[in-house]
Amino acid sequence: MNSHALITPENGLTFFFFERLFELNQLSKFDCSVAEYNEYLKIDALRSQKDHIAFTLLLREKETNRIIAYMSLIADAIKLSVTEKSLHLLDYPFKTIPAMKVAKLATNSEFQEKYKGIGSFMIYSACAMARECNKKYMACRFLTVDADVEHNASVLDFYKKNGFLVNEELYNKNRKTISMRKDIYS
């Protein structure tokens, strides 16, 4: 019998809250089962934040304060082909469109059985943050990601299920990552 809680955009913030990464965070227990992503959070994320290279948000469980997931967000811009621009009804003479990139995303494996939908909730939340940015500060049409197919080829499916498309302009089958985009306004 499945006893996990399904996390959705509607209920996510009743279970969890977001916190900006800062010096005193206890990160040692976070384990997403990919060493590179664990090390990034524990070793590099704070330095990148201080240098304004990446902004990291932790998703914490209200009940225990444990870290359930993290994501690092950065400013981005993507080049779209003529076909891609017409798909998004972007009738402009230039190729480059503003975006926000999910530079890192990982969920804590320890909570895999307790919750489903955490990764999707992080994507939903990144979109919501990008929309807020559009209301107050600057334009940003897409959420982008370099899907890390080196560690897990099927991760592409996770992003596709969350509304991402593969970018034609940057597509290269032999790369370790695949450039993808999600239209924040579709």
Ligand X SMILES: CC(C)(COP(=O)(O)OP(=O)(O)OC[C@H]1O[C@@H](n2cnc3c(N)ncnc32)[C@H](O)[C@@H]1OP(=O)(O)O)[C@@H](O)C(=O)NCCC(=O)NCCS
* Chain residues in the site for ligand X (CB under 6 A): 32, 34, 37, 105-107, 116-120, 145, 147-148, 151-152, 154-155, 157-158, 161
95 versus 116: smaller Cβ distance to ligand X = 116
| Chain position carrying tokens 């976070």 | 30
Which residue of this chain has its Cβ atom nearest to ligand X in the complex? 119
Q: β-pairing, 55-61 with 16-20?
A: antiparallel
50 versus 161: smaller Cβ distance to ligand X = 161
Smallest separation (angstroms) from ligand X to the CB of 183: 19
Smallest separation (angstroms) from ligand X to the CB of 101: 11
Task: Supply the DSSP string of 24-92, one letter for each residue.
Answer: T---TT---S-HHHHHIIIIIHHHHHHTTS-EEEEEEETTT--EEEEEEEEEEEEE--HHHHHHTT---
95 versus 114: smaller Cβ distance to ligand X = 114
Burial annotation 92-115 (CB, 10 A radius, 16+ → b, else e): eeeeebbbbbbbbbbbbeebeeeb
Provide φ and ψ at 101, rounded to 5°. Answer: -105, 135
Smallest separation (angstroms) from ligand X to the CB of 69: 7
79 versus 114: smaller Cβ distance to ligand X = 114
Smallest separation (angstroms) from ligand X to the CB of 161: 5
Smallest separation (angstroms) from ligand X to the CB of 82: 28
Give CA 185 to chain center in angstroms: 16
113 versus 157: smaller Cβ distance to ligand X = 157
| Cβ atoms 77, 98 nearer than 8 A | yes
